A and B are shown apart, each in its own frame.
Chain A
Amino acid sequence: MNEQATFKDHATLADKFNADEPRVNWHDKTLWFIREKRDRAAWQLAEWETLRETASKIKDNVLSNLPTYLEQFEAQAKANGVTVHWAADAAEHNAIVHSIIKKQGVTRIVKSKSMLTEECHMNEYLAKQGIDVIDTDLGERIVQLAGEPPSHIVLPCIHWKKEEIGQLFHEHLGTPKGMADPQFLTAAAREHLRERFLTSPIAITGVNFAVAETGEVVVCTNEGNADLGVQLADVHIACMGIEKLIPQRQHLGVFLRLLTRSATGQPITTYSSHFRKPRVGQEMHIVLVDNGRSTRLGSDDFRNALKCIRCGACMNTCPVYRRSGGHSYHYAIAGPIGSILAPGLDMKKHADLPFASTLCGSCSNVCPVKIDIHDQLYKWRQVLAKEGHVSSTKKIGMQGMAAVLSRPGVYNIAGAAGRWFMKHLPFVVNNRLNPWYKQREMPAVPKQAFREWYKENRKK
């Protein structure tokens, strides 16, 4: 498939999403409901802002001492009997996972939620190798059956209505047509997944936190699917980005309190599972993945994004995300955090994402580890413009604007300027088919500009 020909940017995909306004309203309200739940959960802790600050400082420490913590973690994990692998990029990660599976000679495996494996497009890679990966998180299974990527990192199928899930299950799992009762559908999914759990000798999980002190990894789920997969399998493969480290087990006392309150407004996930060593007869592997992270660590402006604990709060609060949907971001991680992560991996492909924001700043305020998300969006814009990743129309418009606005004489003649402004501000992007006018009236041009009034009324 020609990627160039089929690529659609955020604005185009968002425009498509907005063709169905009632659905946009529903999507917006669903996510806003979660934002409100998050607010209520946060307000129950008087020390909420202190917790955020503490989490931010712990992550700062981790990033500043990452090599030390990684080596400590590796040594501890090895001492626990775990095999540790290092992957420089997505391809290496996928090859490592594949080699472990191949050794077992199996073609069907289960996987609990892992954004890292989404980032690495592991499922697609393994499918090409003839290996069928079943996502066991209910939301992920739903989008998997639909042949879609997740639209949200915590709520993968938040863009699906229950009636649509009923239809999907009818087609794939044989549930009665028209059945949309969530409890019934969940039971059907459970039955379908149970068979896969029981017959899969390999379980892949993601990692929420990796403790350097003990070499253990912690996986947070609401469905217990990580536990079930791992406990029934002969081999456990845990895949993680190198930034997932925390120094000590006691720091979980900060992060576990923040994670789910920020994500869904629950005090904690139903399961916080600690995996430290393989049980007798089991193999446990941890794959540590860089994939651009150490490059980012070297950037003063953007390293901070590595503090992310993948709670999704920035998506739920983002007024643009709520009204454009996760798929409009065309990257494994959508929303504000995805928009500052994606250009780090491929600037050209994701050049549109930092512009898919009004820079309202709500994302930075809900972030439990205080990532300066909206400032980084601004900074990415500067990088992208300098590196030539914005359209030449926009560039020429901006140059013209800069020329007029920095010359008071020209500005005044253009004064008359009202007419110049009508054409250029804020309509510099495209004044052939003025997008402002599609749903908005233009401001009326007054008899005189303020500067003329000032001359007549204050300078006499």
Chain B
Amino acid sequence: MTVGLFIPCYIDQFYPQVAIASLELLEKHGVNVVFPERQTCCGQPMANSGFEHLTHSSNELFIDNFSGFEYIVSPSGSCALHVKDHLHADKREHEATAIRGRIMELTEFLVDVLHVKTLPANFPHRVGLHQSCHGQRGLKLAQMSELVAPPFSKSEQLLRMVGGLELIPLDRRDECCGFGGTFCVAEEAVSAKMGKDRIADHIQHGAEYITGSDMSCLMHLEGILRRQNSNVKAVHIAEILNGNVNA
């Protein structure tokens, strides 16, 4: 099976270790992974700011890079959701439609396609899971607390396979962290407050690490943790599952 690896631009530039962990994790499970090197960005930052009409060229570029793969996998629920919901191209709509149907977030792919049952990873720490909204409520990677429906969580399912890892409970299991793309600067006060509150919930329950499947949320939380000189670290779930957290 050949999979196209879609690495969001900010992960490429700021968090290469997350991309490496995603790549290695997939390879460990026998997947042939290709990283199309002319990829840049899915266009979400523009679209969520109201400028979806400026994303035609990034959509074209995305199609150039990812057309033809059996699956496209990305370690970001938010970017995967954007592609799934908004990738269109006037003259290549059939290709766009195919991609929208084949894009998957990493944990979703591990659970639903690879049917991963065990992981050779150890992480003897107390870990809090931040269910990012776009992955959870958009891609349905976990049950949403608002609904009267049976619980499940793909991330949690995978984290439970990691040796020694203790998942801590949270008071608010799926509260937004406040990143929200350009919201994080346009609404700085509320964004930062939401992040601080999210972190406080984790710390209050004894988390040593905060993890999740969206690096953008984690980048925001990490920024606050570092400002607070906290010992708590934000790490992407791929790093834990791949067993190579650089603590």
The A interface, classified by DSSP as helix, strand, loop or mixed, is helix
- State the majority secondary structure of interface residues on B: helix
Given contacts A382-B52, A429-B182, A450-B16, is CB(A21)–CB(B133) below 8 Å?
A: no
From residue A9, how far is it (CB to closest CB) to chain B in Å? 10
Distance (Å) between the CB of A394 and the closest chain B CB?
7
Interface membership of B187, Cβ < 8 A? yes
Q: What chain B residues lie within 8 Å of A450 (beta carbons)?
A: 7, 11-13, 16, 19-20, 35
B185 touches A421 (CB 8 A): no
A443 touches B185 (CB 8 A): no
Bound complex: CA A225 to CA B9 (Å): 57
- The residue from A365, A385, A442 contacting B50, defined by CB atoms under 8 A apart: A385
Give the docked Cα–Cα distance between A46 and B148 (Å).
8
A–B pairs, 10, beta carbons within 8 Å:
A49-B147, A358-B183, A361-B137, A362-B176, A390-B49, A398-B51, A440-B192, A443-B219, A450-B16, A453-B16
Q: Are B193 and A18 in contact (CB under 8 A)?
A: yes
Residues of B within 8 A of A458 (CB): 23, 35
Assess the B184–A32 pair: CB atoms within 8 A.
no
- Identify which of A82-90, A92-100, A242-250, A319-327 touches chain B: A319-327
Least Cβ distance of A313 to chain B in Å? 9
- In the complex, chain A residues 402-460 whose Cβ is within 8 Å of any chain B Cβ: 402, 404-408, 411, 415, 417-418, 421, 425-430, 434-436, 438-446, 448-451, 453-455, 458
Q: Mark A10-53, 1 if CB is under 8 A from B, else 0.
A: 11001101100100100010001000000100110110110000
State whether the Cβ of B61 lies closer than 8 Å to any Cβ in chain A.
Answer: yes
* Residue B190, interface by CB 8 Å: yes
* CA gap between A403 and B240 in the complex, in Å: 35
CB-nearest residue of chain A to B225 = A441
B91 at the interface (CB under 8 A from A): no
Contacting residues, chain A, for B109 (C-beta < 8 A): none
In the complex, A401 has a CB within 8 A of chain B? yes
| Complex interface residues of chain A between 349 and 403 (CB less than 8 A to chain B) | 355-362, 364-366, 378, 381-386, 390, 394-395, 398-399, 401-402
Counting chain A residues whose Cβ lies within 8 A of the other chain, the interface size class is: 35 or more
19 more CB-based (< 8 A) A-B contacts, given A448-B16, A453-B20: A11-B186, A32-B172, A319-B175, A324-B190, A355-B187, A358-B178, A358-B179, A358-B180, A365-B147, A386-B53, A408-B37, A421-B9, A425-B45, A428-B49, A428-B182, A439-B195, A451-B35, A455-B37, A458-B35
Q: CA A399 – CA B7 in complex, angstroms?
A: 22
B14-A443 in contact (CB<8A): yes
Which of B96-104, B138-146, B156-164, B204-212 interfaces with chain A? B138-146
Contact A405 B53 (CB under 8 A): no
Residue contact A10 to B145, C-beta cutoff 8 Å: no
B38 within 8 A of A: yes
Task: Check: B220 CB closer than 8 A to any chain A CB.
Answer: yes
In the complex, whether B57 has a CB less than 8 A from a CB of chain A is yes
Q: Does B189 contact A (CB under 8 A)?
A: yes
For A407, the chain B residues whose CB sits under 8 A away are: 40, 57
**A317, CB-defined interface residue at 8 Å:** yes
Q: Are B183 and A449 in contact (CB under 8 A)?
A: no
Chain A, residue nearest B192 (CB): A439
Smallest distance from the beta carbon of B227 to chain A beta carbons, Å?
5
| A212–B222 alpha-carbon span in the complex (Å) | 55
Cβ A15 vs Cβ B189 within 8 A: yes
Q: How far is the CB of A312 from chain B (nearest CB, A)?
A: 14
Chain A residues engaging chain B, CB cutoff 8 angstroms = 10-11, 14-15, 17-18, 21, 24, 28, 32, 39, 42-43, 45-46, 48-49, 317, 319-320, 323-324, 355-362, 364-366, 378, 381-386, 390, 394-395, 398-399, 401-402, 404-408, 411, 415, 417-418, 421, 425-430, 434-436, 438-446, 448-451, 453-455, 458
**Chain A min CB distance to B38 (Å):** 4
Interface membership of B167, Cβ < 8 A:
no
Shortest distance from the beta carbon of A457 to any chain B beta carbon, whole Å:
8
Residue pair A323, B37 in contact (C-beta under 8 Å): no
Is A42 in contact with B148, judged by CB distance below 8 angstroms?
yes
Tell me how far the C-beta of A183 lies from the nearest C-beta in chain B, rounded to whole angstroms.
Answer: 30
Q: Tell me the complex Cα distance, A364–B134, Å.
A: 13
What separation, in Å, do the CA atoms of A272 and B101 have in the docked complex?
47
Q: With both chains docked as a complex, state the minimum distance between the C-beta of A262 and any C-beta of chain B, in angstroms.
A: 10
Taking a contact as CB atoms under 8 Å apart, the answer to whether A451 and B12 are in contact is yes
Contacts of B227 in A (CB 8 A): 439-441
Given contacts A358-B133, A358-B178, A429-B185, contact A439 B224 (CB under 8 A): yes
> In chain B, what residue has the closest Cβ to A354?
B50
Taking CB atoms, residues of chain A closer than 8 Å to B179 are: 358
> Chain A CB within 10 Å — which of B15, B191, B219 has the most?
B191
Taking a contact as CB atoms under 8 Å apart, the answer to whether B224 and A440 are in contact is yes
Q: Is the CB of B180 within 8 A of A446?
A: no
Smallest beta-carbon distance B66→chain A, Å: 13
Given contacts A14-B189, A357-B183, contact A323 B43 (CB under 8 A): no
User: Is B55 an interface residue, CB under 8 A from the partner?
Assistant: yes
